Amino acid sequence: MEKQFPHLCTPLTVGRTTFRNRIFSAPMGGTDIANDGCIGDKSKSFYELRAKGGAAAVTVSECMVHPATDGSHAYHLDESILNSLAQATYCADAIRRHGAIPSLELSHSGMFAGTYMTDKSKQKSLHQWSASDGVRADGVEVRALTKEMIKEIVASYGHVAGLAKRAGFEMLMIHGGHGWLINQFLSPMFNHRTDEYGGSLENRCRLAVEVLKSVREAVGPFFPIEFRMSGDEFVEEGYHLDEGVRIAQMIEPYCDIIHVSAGTYQKTFGITHPSMFTDHGRNVYLAAEIRKHVSKPVATIGGLNDPAQLEEIISSGKADIVYMGRALLADPFLPRKVEENRPEDIVKCLRCFTCMAERASTSTRRCTVNPLIGREFEGDEVTPAPVKKKVMVAGGGPGGLFAAYTAARRGHAVTLYEKEQETGGILKSEQALPFKHEMYELSLTYRRFCDQAGVRIVTGTEVTKELCEQEKPDALIIAVGSKPIVPPLPGIERCVIVNNYYKEADKVTEDVVVLGGGLAGCECAIHLGMEGKHVHLVEMRDMLAPDANVRHRPLLLKEIDRYVTVHTGLKGLRITEEGVYCEDKEGKEVLVPGTSVICALGQRSNDFSALYAGAPFVRVIGDAAKVSTITNAVYQGYHAALDI
């Protein structure tokens, strides 16, 4: 079979280990970590799905090697803890039985101990150790590790490495980037020591080299060891690419793969994890430069999800391996689809940070486009229904499309009705915003899945009580979505409704007011600012985008600062040729100038009360049930179909 992406599908041999392709699954925190640090069954299933999906290697996220100086609530591997070795073994086996190489990331948080605790207040009660004495940005005191403690930590890396090999892991990743302990020694931002572990770059690399030697002694000469580093810290007081190259050269003799990431904890989140506002693969150049100066295989990572881009990275010699994290949450089967020449069937990551926000909020995982994530333990196969039924889906937005697709996969006879002339629902509006175009593409992908599964799609037809009585479905899934809130302000007819911007962009002038500072209004304002327009954003509340998740919101606000003039605490009164007249908190009238206005004041659920008795089984999902997120619409649609 001729491969569409031959370089991406070429096996790679490191030592005596052969990886089936060049797509590796990046370390991502699991979904259930026991109080004593054991890998839970949900986490095992979480990692296993990436192996089942065709990744060449699956890296289990950070195993903290020295709990005495690192209080992070993450994985531990300790034979004195009941089930610790057993659970690690079951996890490695779950990955390996699908043909992927199981890898374990060994780490130490250093001064950021306790990062993974949901209750961050407890983090401040822990001892925080680093290369040097200091005070963290949040005021927590940091103490320098003594040489005796360093020696103990180095030994613990070797000890845990040996246990990992015994458990069945076939590769180890040593985390030396992102501001964790080894990086704290590498970086002049953290390391101010005057002994043999500080000062010159050779001294700052000493801990990394000692750790790698300790691990090598524990696992033997042919066992692959990968070193993860930041190619550039992207902060003035840190190191940059020129020094990143030298670091790679110094650690190269002691490892087998150099994994080049970027940035440092708490300062460059949107670089380490590129957001929708940045280019895909914005960090690849770091790996490409380092690869010119080393002979070991080099891996790259950062916002990658397009097979054509991945193929170019490998074929042009920018890197030997491509790592993906979020992209393999959105579609765990991306590597298999690449191998099978089915790139059009890939569900692309939206870079919306739902996955990471949920991790920060509840210590679980969820994905906007993949309802399995974090719940893989419940089963990842859609099984045929014992009784085939006639299913009607009302509404062709993301929730309705995914519900119809899932119901058809179960063998039901499914008809989806959409009152508009095309499916996609609210996702259609995203085609006008380049940084959100993948959300629009999602609607096309879900539509293609429906077509492939045999869903009958009828557009231009609204589901009514009469239609239900005529068709007599066994099950009705109501996914009729929401409509924009349009207040009865004088002059409101002058506005372009944000949902319709993709159809009426030509009506928006160079001086524009966006009325409404929620997520939709903020993202539209950023887009207009990126186009070079003069944008004023008006919000009645004192804060912007409270509906954005905790990971996306800070990055969104940075873009707002770059492109938009913000007016909070203003209530819209009327809209004229001059702009929007508002009332401030003191009751004074204020003019926010603009020759065009976009209304983005939120959504309201569409009425579906006439459909309650439309079938023996009725389920309401998505915005029809409660205005919320694509995440909830897709998740609810999936499970509604499973319940039929």
What would the pLDDT profile of 591-630 be if each residue is shown by its tens digit? 999 999 999 999 999 999 999 999 999 999 999 999 999 9
> First vs last Cα of the chain: how many Å apart?
39
Residue 107 in tokens: 């780490």
Q: What percent of the chain has pLDDT over 70?
A: 100
pTM of the model: 0.95
Which residues, in sequence order, are CB contacts of 453 under 8 Å at separation 6+?
A: 404, 405, 408, 409, 414
Stretch 48-74: mean pLDDT, rounded?
Answer: 94
Q: Is pLDDT of 118 > 80?
A: no
- Which part of the chain is CATH 3.40.50.720? 390-484+605-642
pLDDT of residue 323: 98
Q: Which long-range contacts (CB under 8 A, 24 or more apart) does 220-223 make?
A: 221/15, 222/15, 222/16, 222/17, 223/15, 223/17, 223/165, 223/170, 223/171, 223/172
Q: Which CATH superfamily is domain 390-484+605-642 in?
A: NAD(P)-binding Rossmann-like Domain (3.40.50.720)
- Which part of the chain is CATH 3.20.20.70? 12-376
Q: Which CATH superfamily is domain 492-601 in?
A: FAD/NAD(P)-binding domain (3.50.50.60)
pLDDT of residue 204: 98
Average model confidence (pLDDT) across the chain? 96
Query: In this predicted structure, which of 8-17, 360-369, 452-461, 497-506 has the lowest mean pLDDT?
Result: 360-369
Beta strand extents in 426-568 (DSSP E only): 456-459, 475-478, 482-484, 496-497, 511-515, 534-539, 564-568
Q: Is pLDDT of 584 > 90?
A: yes
Residues 491-542 have pLDDT tens digits of: 999 999 999 999 999 999 999 999 999 999 999 999 999 999 999 999 999 9
Residues 291-313 have pLDDT tens digits of: 999 999 999 999 999 999 999 99
- Which part of the chain is CATH 3.50.50.60? 492-601
Stretch 407-426: mean pLDDT, rounded?
Answer: 97
Residues 175-199 have pLDDT tens digits of: 999 999 999 999 999 999 999 999 9
Q: How confident is the model at residue 633 (pLDDT cuts 50, 70, 90)?
A: very high
Local structure of 60: helix, strand or coil: strand
Stretch 266-284: mean pLDDT, rounded?
Answer: 95
Q: Is pLDDT of 415 > 80?
A: yes
Give phi and psi for 421, each to the nearest 5: -80, -10
pLDDT of residue 125: 75
Architecture of domain 12-376 in this structure: Alpha-Beta Barrel (3.20)
Query: In this predicted structure, which of 114-118, 160-164, 355-359, 572-576 has the lowest mean pLDDT?
Result: 114-118
- Residue 11's CB is within 10 A of a number of other CB atoms, namely 10
Stretch 390-416: mean pLDDT, rounded?
Answer: 98
Residues 347-395 have pLDDT tens digits of: 999 999 999 999 888 888 999 999 999 999 999 999 999 999 999 999 9
Specify the DSSP class assigned to residue 265. T
Give phi and psi for 615, each to the nearest 5: -165, 160
Amino acid identity, position 535: V
Residues in the chain: 644
Q: Is 272 in contact with 555 (CB distance < 8 Å)?
A: no
3-state secondary structure 61-110: EEEECCCCCCCCCCECCCCCCCCHHHHHHHHHHHHHCCCCEEEEEEECCH
Q: Is pLDDT of 126 > 90?
A: no
Q: Is 622 in contact with 636 (CB distance < 8 Å)?
A: yes
pLDDT of residue 311: 98
pLDDT of residue 362: 87
